[in-house]
Amino acid sequence: MEAVPPEIRDLLVEAAAWRLLGLLLERPREGWRREVEDLTRECRDPDLAAAVDAARDEASEGLYLAILGPGGVVSAREVSYRGMEDPGRILADLEAFYEAFAFTPRTEEAPDHLAVEAGFVGYLRLKEAFARTQGEDEKAATAAAAASRFLADHVSSSVQPFAERIATTEVRYLTLAAQALARRVGPPRAMLSAGASLPVLCDDPCSFDCGPG
């Protein structure tokens, strides 16, 4: 079997890490722990491994709902951290991103939930890796640019205040996951879209399913 080029392998590892970040911020459900363990082996990130280790002892549906569920003590939704900005505009922009790249997450969470947003970044990394394996450099560049723009326009605005709030709950696995997400995203970035239209990576839904489940 032909060896996977290092740049493709790195993208696949990145995709697994983003998917795991999203999964850790989802409600634990049937199959959740198995998927978490599988992704932990793939992503090779010590920060995420620490979060998963804590989740083995702490994670439960009841605890999650008390902290991040409807009426919970912390919101994981982007609109909660965007001040006076129009929530409808934010959600419409998110839906435009998801539709442009045929992203259909299997989750109960709102489109602006950080679990969904992290899952989308992982999805774009996977699309980039797939495009590169096919020699489709333009599609790969489109996916990479979309990920950068999505992080700037959406994730970076909410991840740091979310991490600070979740730390006050003293729930270790969620705190570690939020901190790992904040480190991966970095400080807030200047928004890049300025009303520009989104490029579409593929006209039809892709043959792999990598959204939050």
pLDDT digits (tens, 9 = 90+) for 178-202: 999 999 998 776 555 544 555 555 4
CA distance 33 to 27: 11
pLDDT at 123 over 90: yes
Residue 189 near residue 156, CB atoms below 8 Å: yes
Residue 190's pLDDT is what? 59
CA distance 48 to 43: 8
pLDDT at 2 over 80: no
| Cross-strand pairs, 34 | none
pLDDT band with cut points at 50, 70 and 90 for residue 205: very low
Residue 109 near residue 212, CB atoms below 8 Å: yes
Residue 85's pLDDT is what? 92
Domain coordinates in residue numbering, the chain: 6-185
What 8-state DSSP symbol labels residue 26? S
CA distance 171 to 179: 12
Residue 191 near residue 156, CB atoms below 8 Å: no
Residue 192's pLDDT is what? 52
Q: Specify the CATH number for 6-185; select among 1.10.287, 1.10.3480, 1.10.357, 3.40.720.
A: 1.10.3480
More confident residue, 210 or 129: 129
pLDDT digits (tens, 9 = 90+) for 132-181: 999 999 999 999 999 999 999 999 999 999 999 999 999 999 999 999 99
Q: In degrees, to the nearest 5, what angle opens at C-alpha 164 toward C-alphas 210 and 188?
A: 65
More confident residue, 1 or 128: 128
Residue 4's pLDDT is what? 79
What's the whole-number average pLDDT of the chain?
Answer: 88
